[in-house]
Amino acid sequence: MSLVRVHNFSISLDGFGVGEDQRLEAPFGHAGARLLEWAIPTRTFTDMGLHGKQEGAAGVDEVFASRWNTDVGAEIMGRNKFAPKPGPWPDDSWRGWWGDNPPFHTPVIVLTHRPRPPLELEGGTTFYFINAEPAEALRQARELAGGLDIRIGGGTTTIREFLQADLIDEMHIAVVPIILGRGERLWDGLEGLENRFHIETVASPSGVIHLTFWRRNL
């Protein structure tokens, strides 16, 4: 059976995975880019071309960042990762934050209460918009993934719901040394989660603590 994985998901010291007041001009709300400052300089992120042209850095952060796409055949993400606000789609013109050639290069399931036709973009990325609970979304993702693993891409609510449903096998969380104070918290309602996973920590010179979780019964 393919694995269900989370990679490069950043939270603040007080557990927030996104700030308050997410909008088109501020995809991470009042957090700005602070949750991703550890990842942006890495070779993996610079090679995506999402943050300008520069030579990417190696090191501890790059080791973790680089694992995000290995053996992944499909992603599942929440609507708020794909689009700046909930509610009815004004039209079908919004194509995501990533341009015409998103970095995924796989099928991507977008969880939304308002399904719409699939969106096929360059590089092998097709977004499928479905209204489904985690188990059903995972079933559909596995049909699209060709036997490869499934990545749960976020945002905060989506990862928390998959953890609550006990559907995640491996997870990488980057704890960033900032205090946000408000937004969406990852760990709420997940008391005792540590009993389900082995957990290792690695400290980076950037100040980030990389937490790796893997299911105890794998």
Q: What is the pLDDT of residue 27?
A: 87
98-113 pLDDT, tens digit each: 999 999 999 999 999 9
pLDDT at 20 over 60: yes
Mean of the pLDDT values across residues 138-154? 97
Q: What is the pLDDT of residue 128?
A: 98
Q: What is the pLDDT of residue 52?
A: 52
Q: Is the dihedral of CA 71, 158, 120, 44 positive or negative?
A: negative
Mean of the pLDDT values across residues 60-81? 95
SS3 content of the chain, % helix, strand, coil (to 5): 25, 30, 45
Q: What is the pLDDT of residue 121?
A: 97
Residue 37's pLDDT band, with cuts at 50, 70 and 90, is very high
Which residues have C-beta within 8 Å of that of residue 139, sequence separation ≥ 6?
Answer: none
Mean of the pLDDT values across residues 118-124? 96
Q: What is the pLDDT of residue 39?
A: 93
Residue 203's pLDDT band, with cuts at 50, 70 and 90, is very high
Mean of the pLDDT values across residues 135-142? 98
Strand boundaries in 114-193, DSSP class E: 119-120, 126-130, 149-154, 170-176, 184-185
Ranges 10-19, 23-32, 34-43, 202-211: which has the least confidence: 23-32
Q: What is the pLDDT of residue 192?
A: 96
Q: What is the pLDDT of residue 154?
A: 92
Looking at beta carbons, which pairs linking 81-87 to residues 24 or more positions away fall under 8 Å?
81/110, 81/153, 81/154, 81/155, 81/158, 82/110, 82/112, 82/127, 84/22, 84/23, 84/24, 84/27, 85/22, 85/23, 85/24, 87/114
Percent share of the chain, pLDDT over 70: 96
Contact 199, 213 (CB under 8 A): yes
Ranges 88-102, 123-137, 191-205: which has the least confidence: 88-102
